[in-house]
Chains A and B, each alone.
Chain A
Amino acid sequence: MCLAVPLKVRKKEGDMAEVGLKGLRQQVSVALTPEVKEGDWVLVHAGFAIQRLEENDALETLSLLEELNEAGN
């Protein structure tokens, strides 16, 4: 129901930020995630950053997947 994509914050000015990925740039509002800094990854939905992503989180998913695979073998 809700399309959201992870994008990297390149510039932040007030409650707006330029975010991007692979040759793509977008202006989004960070009013719902005021804690984000340049270099952070955010989830973007309908022109708003709705969550700051922890880099550790991404790694955690990977390791979870590995655990699951091991459990399955």
Chain B
Amino acid sequence: MDQERILLAHGSGGRQTQELIEKIIYPIFEANGGQPLLDAALLPAPGGAGLALTTDSFVVSPLFFPGGDIGKLAACGTINDLAVVGARPLYLTVGLIIEEGFAVADLKRILTSLAEVAKSAGVSVVAGDTKVVERGNADKLYINTTGIGVVAPGVALGPERIAEGDLIIVSGTVGDHGMTILCQREGLPLEAEVASDCAALHDLARALIATGGISCMRDPTRGGLATALNELAAQSGTVMEISEEKVPVQPPVAAGCGMLGLDPLYLANEGKLLITVRPDCGEAVMSVLVKHPLGKRARVIGRVTGRDGRGKVLLETGLGVRRILPGLEGEHLPRIC
């Protein structure tokens, strides 16, 4: 890492985030006997079932946005991190860091939507922590949630299971959350008829796993689909190829991207699954997806075409030619050039 200080880009979910984790954070814990830091860790538990453990912090601005708020986001984000490793989410903790002066009514509204998501997912909120910091020392409200889930015996998903020939499926339109948040940004005189896709994916994930055809799943949040694909390709050492035209994008998101010089493949999603599927199970998986309210607009967007050990993602462009699809570099900011 070249920088002496943390930049915003280190929190973008792209290459700099990866670098911070690999070069600074992980080596410290590795020396203490820790295991690789994944979004969710799979831990052995008595009785054969596996435990899945994940933690996530939420710092979204604004706190309320079309399609959700930071409370819903916190519950969904943690549930989804468990769901994509094949776990059934069971318990949640909630840590709050509140800025002095924050409205109690807003806090109630946010915690209510967190509680509603947890309840409908069958997840109990079982522990918590509350800190208040001086005005100016935090931006209104930060939430940390830790989630615990169980993985049924026989369920095994992961990048090491991705094989040549696997289909690559995305469960719906990409970039909805990212564009929604951008439009809410202070100063940006842009309004789009789009809402965050923020949703808990545990039920859809469970139905997909039941088909027996899934090799790996991810929720492409920060850094978007392109970055999630690059992580999967690198971790599995495979070459993945997707077609730009097959990736579903809502028209206002596409138009907003055109206007701001952004690419929907790099915008955050909060209710989408990126799935790799054994080729003979493609139809079964798609039929589960399109019948589920959260998978109606699912598309097969590509396939795993080879293995090169290092991992690579190729994009077939609208012109029908292939090029490298890199992961996110720096922050994905509006450009004028």
Residues of chain A whose beta carbon lies under 8 Å from any beta carbon of chain B: 1-3, 5, 7, 21-28, 44-47
Contact = CB atoms under 8 A, between A and B. Distances in A.
Contacts of A21: 255
Interface in B192-222: 192-194
Contacts of B191: 24-26
Interface in B311-337: 335-337
A24 B192 CA distance: 4
5 contacts: A3-B261, A23-B255, A24-B259, A26-B259, A45-B336
Contact of B256 (A1, A24, A44, A46): A24
B258 A5 contact: yes
Contacts, number: 45
Contacts of A28: 189
Nearest to B190: A26
Nearest to B183: A24
B259 A23 contact: no
Contacts of B336: 2-3, 45-46
Nearest to B335: A3
Contact of A47 (B189, B251, B337): B189
A47 B334 CA distance: 12
B193 A23 contact: yes
B252 A23 contact: yes
A46 B191 CA distance: 15
Contacts of B189: 26-28, 47
Contacts of B261: 3
A23 B190 contact: no
Closest 7 A/B residue pairs (Cβ) = A23-B252, A23-B193, A22-B251, A27-B189, A25-B191, A22-B255, A24-B255
B132 interface: no
Contacts of A44: 259
A28 B336 CA distance: 14
Interface in B100-145: none
B193 A3 contact: no
A61 B63 CA distance: 46
B259 A5 contact: yes
A47 B189 CA distance: 8
Interface string B174-192: 0000000000000001111
B254 interface: yes
A13 to B, nearest CB: 14
A41 to B, nearest CB: 14
A70 B48 CA distance: 71
Contacts of A26: 189-191, 259
B254 A22 contact: yes
A5 B336 CA distance: 11
A14 B192 CA distance: 23
Contacts of A45: 336
Nearest to B261: A3
Contacts of B337: 1-3
A21 B192 CA distance: 9
Given A5-B259, A44-B259, A23 B192 contact: yes
Which has the most chain A C-beta neighbours within 10 Å: B190, B258, B259, B337? B259
